[in-house]
Amino acid sequence: MSAEPAPAPRRKGARRIVEIPRAVLRADRRRERLFERLATHRSDRVRSLVAYSVTADEELALAKRLAVRSARRRLLEPVRSDPSDYVRRSVGNWLNDASKSRPEWVRSLAAEWRRASKTAETAWIVRHALRTLRKGGG
């Protein structure tokens, strides 16, 4: 009796394994498009939801699948000078939270917003977003 090596396992499910990430990518892109539309919704409550649409924890999970930072910028652009105090607080609070894990990204976005938008609303959001960093938190 000779010891023959076991045959290589058949890879029946290999294609299915590849399809799962593609399905996740499609879902992420659909969600991103939805939030891009919501960023211009007439209700300030709906627009404020955009600031919280991609949490800092999700960024870590999605970073390999999508360009999350650029997606987030696209989502936040329409609300960076929002007339609603409710939306401005949401955006500022979200950016302040993000500054704890991604201080350079928030500083970069704040500098870009200061250059691109000279409105009082944008200035307020930037001050609110950078409050933890100003206190020495990052």
Phi first, then psi: give them for residue 135, nearest 5 degrees.
-80, 0
Label residue 51 exposed, middle or buried (CB < 10 Å: 0-12, 13-18, 19+): buried
Total count of domains within the chain: 1
**8 domain residue, yes or no:** no
Q: How far apart are CA 127 and CA 138, in angstroms?
A: 15
Could you tell me the residue range of the domain that residue 125 belongs to? Answer: 17-134
In order of 20, 29, 60, 110, the CA distances from 23 in angstroms are 5, 10, 19, 34
What the block records as the tokens of 76 is: 């936040």
Judge if pTM exceeds 0.75. Answer: no
**88 domain residue, yes or no:** yes
Residues 48-100 have pLDDT tens digits of: 877 766 554 444 444 444 445 566 777 888 899 999 999 999 999 989 988 98
